[in-house]
Structure 1
Amino acid sequence: MSAVVEEVVQPCPQCGAEVRGDRRFTAWCAGCDWNVDPAGPAQQPGRLERARRALARRYGEQLLAEASARGELRARRDASSLLAGAIALAVHGLTLALAGGGLWFVVHFWGGPAVALGAFLLLLAFSLRPRPPRLPEDVPLLRRDQAPELFALVDEIARVVGTRGVDVIAVDGMVNASVLTYGLRGRRLLTLGLPLWEGLTAQERIALLGHELGHYANGDTRHGLVVGTAYQSLTTWRYYLAPTPNPTPVQMVVNLACMPPTWLVHGLLMLLDRLTMRASQRAEYLADRTAARAGSTEAAVGLLDRLMLADSALTTLQREVNDAARSGARTGSRADDRANGLWERLTAYLESVPEHERERLRRAGALRGHSVDDTHPPTHLRRECLLVGAPTPAAVTSDGDRAHAVTTELTDARRQVARQILRDGVRD
Structure 2
Amino acid sequence: MSTSVGTVGETTQPCPQCGAEIRVDGRFTTWCAGCDWNVDPERPGEEPGRLERRRRRLARRHGERLAAEVAAGETLRPRRDFAGLAAYLIALAVHGVTAALAVGAVWFLVTGWGGAGMFLGAVLGLLAWTLRPRFSELPDDQPLLTRTDAPALFALMDEVAVVAGTRGVDTVAAGSELNASVTTYGIRGRRLLTIGVPLWEILTPQERIALLGHELGHYSNGDTRHGLIIGNALRSLTTWRYYVDPTPNPTLVEAFVNLVFLLPRALLQGLLMLLDRLTLRATQRAEYLADSMAARAGSTDAAAAVMNRFLVLDSAETMLRREANAQQVSRRGTADREPWLGLWERLSAHMASVPESEYERQRRAAALRGHSVDTTHPPTHLRRQCLLTVPPLPATVTTDDGTESRIAAELAAPARTVAQRVVKHGLGH
Shorter-chain TM-score range: over 0.9
Give, in angstroms, the shift of residue 40 of structure 1: 5.0
**8 Å contact kept, 2:164–2:216:** yes
Partner residue in 1 for 2:4: none
- Of 271, 274, 285, 1:271 maps to 274
Correspondence for 2:414: 413
Matched, 1:113 2:151: no
Is residue 209 of structure 1 aligned with residue 235 of structure 2?
no
The one-letter amino acid paired with 1:78 is D
Q: In the TM superposition, what is the alpha-carbon distance from 1:56 to its structure 2 partner?
A: 1.9
Relative to structure 1, the CA distance from residue 330 to residue 352 in structure 2 (aligned partners, 3 Å threshold; closer, same or farther) is: farther
Could you tell me which residue of structure 1 aligns to residue 404 of structure 2?
403
Give 5+ residue unaligned stretches, structure 2: 1-6
Residues 89, 5 of structure 1: alpha-carbon distance in 2 compared, 3 angstrom cutoff = farther
Q: Counterparts of 1:127-142 in structure 2 under 5 Å?
A: 127-142=130-145
Deviations 1:121-148 (A, max 9, x none): 1111111100021111111111111111
Which one is further off, 235-244 or 405-414? Answer: 235-244
Q: Secondary structure at the match of 1:339?
A: coil
Partner residue in 2 for 1:196? 199
Measure the CA separation in 2 of the matches of 1:17 and 1:113: 80
* Contact 2:39–2:361 under 8 Å retained in 1: yes
Alignment of 1:289 with 2:292, yes or no, is: yes
Partner residue, 1:319 = 322
Q: Distance in 1 between matches of 2:334 and 2:87?
A: 49
Whole-Å separation in 2 of the counterparts to 1:16 and 1:260: 59
Within the alignment, does 1:183 sit opposite 2:186 as a pair?
Answer: yes
Q: 1:340 maps to which residue?
A: 341
The residue aligned with 1:363 is 364
- Cα distance in 2 for partners of 1:416, 1:43 equals 33
TM-score (norm 2): 0.94
Change (3 A) 1:333 1:398: farther
1:97 Cα offset (Å): 0.5
Which SS does the other structure have where 1:175 is aligned?
A: coil
Name the residue aligned to 1:375: 376
Amino acid of the structure 1 residue aligned with 2:60:
R
Give the aligned partner of residue 160 of structure 1: 163
Distance (whole Å) between structure 1 residues aligned to residue 175 and residue 302 of structure 2: 23
Partner SS for 2:398: coil
Letter of the 1:381 partner, please give it. L
Corresponding residue number in structure 2 for 1:238 = 241
CA distance 1:154–1:243, change in 2 (3 Å): same
* Aligned residues of 1:180 and 1:190 also touching (Cα < 8 A): yes
Q: CA distance change for structure 1 residues 244 and 14 in 2, over 3 Å: closer, same or farther? A: same
**Residue 223 to residue 168, structure 1, CA distance change in 2 (3 Å):** same
Is the Cα–Cα contact under 8 Å of residues 373 and 380 in structure 2 kept in the other structure? Answer: no
**Structure 1 contact 206–291 (Cα < 8 Å) conserved:** yes
Query: How far 1:71 sits from its partner (Å)?
Result: 4.2
Q: What percent identity do the matched residue pairs reach?
A: 62
Letter in 1 for 2:376: T
Q: Is the Cα contact below 8 Å between 1:234 and 1:265 reproduced in 2? A: yes
- Give, as a single letter, the amino acid of the residue that structure 2 aligns with 1:25: F
Where in structure 1 are there 5+ consecutive unaligned residues?
A: none
Alignment of 1:84-123 (within 5 A): 84-109=87-112, 112-123=115-126
| Equivalent position amino acid for 1:405 in 2 | R
Aligned partners of 2:371 and 2:380 also within 8 Å: no
Contact 1:21–1:356 under 8 Å retained in 2: no
Give the C-alpha shift of residue 210 in structure 1. Answer: 0.3
Distance in 2 (CA, whole Å) between partners of 1:309 and 1:359 is 10
1:5 CA displacement:
3.7
For 2:354, the equivalent position in structure 1 comes to 353
Q: What is the aligned length?
A: 423
Following TM superposition, by how much is the alpha carbon of 1:371 offset from its aligned partner in structure 2, in angstroms?
Answer: 7.5
Q: CA deviation at 1:228?
A: 0.3
Change (3 A) 1:100 1:47: closer
The C-alpha deviation readout for 1:135-191, integer Å capped at 9, x for no partner, is 111111111111111111111111111101111100111000000011111011000
Distance of 1:326 and 1:41 partners within structure 2: 28
Does the C-alpha gap of structure 1 residues 357 and 55 become closer, same or farther in structure 2, counting only changes over 3 Å? same
Shift in Å at residue 323 of structure 1?
1.4
Moved more, 55-64 or 70-79: 70-79
CA shift for structure 1 position 249: 2.5
